[in-house]
């Protein structure tokens, strides 16, 4: 398993500002993911962050809006830039750990960061 | 593109009632399947997972799910729900070797004593 710590747990921000969310894992992992969970909705993958390479963004998400850093195998940050009220959401960090059988990956989640933009 | 559908958006049950939550996915290749639960104010937790083998998978807290490949389904079941099962339930699919999860829209379950 993996224990994931996210900071901050919640924040209220002014529109036009940026917030950086930190994700710390208790073990080295190759794959880290950032998800968004908008109010009353499911989780949407923002990007995949692998150490040593640029993040891979899903359709509808761009690096200028959601820059990601992955300096080592236990840490990542997601920045929500130039925020607007539409960015109000829960942002979740997730890590993938491969099982003993190739291709079987299990995901673990942090508690999330609840962001409100006013 | 892969997608996951959860047919029930909001389910209300009395304690001891049986539960079945539907989940269908669209992808023709090999997949791994998961059910996650999110209790109020808590983070996502894994209920159960299917990688291969017996299509009937048993998870924590008395939950089970059956993978029916011909129907592209992975429905979640519990024979007798408890008030503590009140939560949001998410079905997720991982296309093997891609590592990322695609989530369904979620089902909100409310259990009344």
The answer as to whether A4 is a domain residue is: no
Q: What angle do CA A35, B100, B102 make, to 5 degrees?
A: 70
What pLDDT score was predicted for residue A103?
54
Alpha-carbon span B40 to B42, nearest angstrom = 6
DSSP string of B31-84, one letter each residue: EEEEEEEE-TTS--EEEEEE-SS-SEEE-GGG-EEEEEGGGTEEEEEESS--GG
**Scanning the structure block, which residue is given the tokens 């409310």?**
B110
How far is Cα of residue B85 from the mean position of the Cα atoms in its chain? 13
pLDDT at position A77: 96
- Among B107, B3, B25, B21, which residue's Cα sits nearest to residue B69? B25
Q: What integer pLDDT is reported at residue B98 of this predicted model? A: 66
Q: Is B14 on the interface with A (CB under 8 A)?
A: no
Residue A86 lies inside a defined structural domain of this protein: yes
pLDDT at site B52: 86
Q: Which domain holds residue A49?
A: 18-99
Domain of A55, CATH number, reads: 2.60.40.10
**What domains sit in chain B, N to C, each tagged with a CATH number?**
3-112 (2.60.40.10)
Q: pLDDT digit of tens for each residue in chain B (113 aa)? A: 678 999 889 999 999 999 999 999 998 778 889 999 999 888 888 899 998 899 999 999 999 999 999 999 999 999 999 999 999 999 999 876 666 788 999 999 999 99
Q: Are B72 and B80 within 8 A, CB to CB?
A: no
Q: What is the pLDDT of residue B96?
A: 67
Question: Which residue numbers in chain A have pLDDT < 50?
Answer: 100
Map residue A76 onto helix, strand or coil: strand
Whether residue A69 lies inside any domain: the answer is yes
Q: Which pLDDT score is estimated for A105?
A: 67
Contact A44/B51, CB-based, under 8 Å? Answer: no
Considering only CB atoms, A42 lies closest to which of B46, B49, B90, namely B90
Give the torsion through C-alpha atoms of B104, B108, B111, B112, to 10 deg: -170
Q: Would the CB atoms of A105 and B94 count as touching at under 8 Å?
A: yes
Domain count, chain A: 1
Q: A103, B34: Cβ pair inside 8 Å?
A: no
CB contact under 8 A, B101 and A110: no
Q: Looking at the complex, does the CB of residue B97 fall below 8 Å from at least one CB of chain A?
A: yes
**Has residue A71 been placed in a domain?**
yes
């Amino acid at each position: 398993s993996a224990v994931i710590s996210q900071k901050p747990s919640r924040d209220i921000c002014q529109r036009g500002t940026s917030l950086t969310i930190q994700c710390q894992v208790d073990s080295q992992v190759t794959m880290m993911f950032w998800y968004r969970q908008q109010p009353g909705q499911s989780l949407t993958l923002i990007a995949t962050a692998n150490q040593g390479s640029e993040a891979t963004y899903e359709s509808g998400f761009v690096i200028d809006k959601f820059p990601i850093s992955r300096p080592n195998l236990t840490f990542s940050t997601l920045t929500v830039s130039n925020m607007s009220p539409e960015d109000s959401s829960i942002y979740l960090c997730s890590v993938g750990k491969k099982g003993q059988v190739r291709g079987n990956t299990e995901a673990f989640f942090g508690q999330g960061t609840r962001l409100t933009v006013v | 593109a892969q997608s996951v559908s959860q047919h029930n958006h909001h389910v209300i049950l009395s304690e001891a009632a049986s539960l079945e939550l539907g989940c269908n996915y669209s992808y023709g290749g090999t997949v791994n399947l998961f059910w996650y639960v999110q209790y109020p104010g808590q983070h996502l937790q894994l209920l159960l997972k299917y990688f291969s083998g017996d299509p009937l998978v048993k998870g924590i807290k008395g939950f089970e799910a059956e993978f029916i490949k011909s129907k592209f389904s992975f429905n979640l079941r519990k024979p007798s729900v408890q008030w503590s099962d009140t939560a949001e339930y998410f079905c997720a699919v991982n296309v093997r070797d891609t590592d990322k999860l695609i989530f369904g829209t979620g089902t909100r379950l409310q259990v009344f004593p």
